[in-house]
């Protein structure tokens, strides 16, 4: 895997982790359903971007096929 692919995946994964942590602490501290719902939607979006990024990197690398 080239270094730029790894860097992009780490950045996107870190964003996903930050959203999860924000969601966890907001649900623990306050009961604002609007914020919680918005963060949950953001979490789903970020997870879709992470999975899409992983699939894109695998596709660019040849999909695991022997070269």
Query: Does residue 36 form part of some domain?
Result: yes
Query: Does residue 65 form part of some domain?
Result: no
d(CA 62, CA 32): 45
Asked if 19 and 42 touch (Cβ cutoff 8 Å), the reply is: yes
Domain range for 14 is 3-60
Q: Which helix (H) or strand (E) holds 39?
A: helix 33-60
Give the total number of structural domains in the chain: 1
Query: Does residue 47 form part of some domain?
Result: yes
d(CA 14, CA 67): 31
Dihedral sign for Cα atoms in the order 20, 24, 25, 30: positive
* Predicted pLDDT of residue 24: 73
2-60 pLDDT, tens digit per residue, is 677 778 778 877 887 887 787 777 666 666 777 778 877 887 887 888 788 778 777 77
């Amino acid at each position: 895997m080239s270094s730029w692919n790894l860097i992009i995946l780490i950045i996107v994964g870190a964003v996903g982790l930050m959203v999860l942590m924000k969601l966890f602490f907001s649900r623990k501290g306050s009961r604002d359903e609007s914020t919680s719902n918005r963060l949950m939607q953001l979490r789903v979006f970020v997870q879709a971007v992470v999975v899409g990024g992983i699939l894109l990197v695998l596709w660019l690398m040849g999909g695991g096929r022997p070269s």
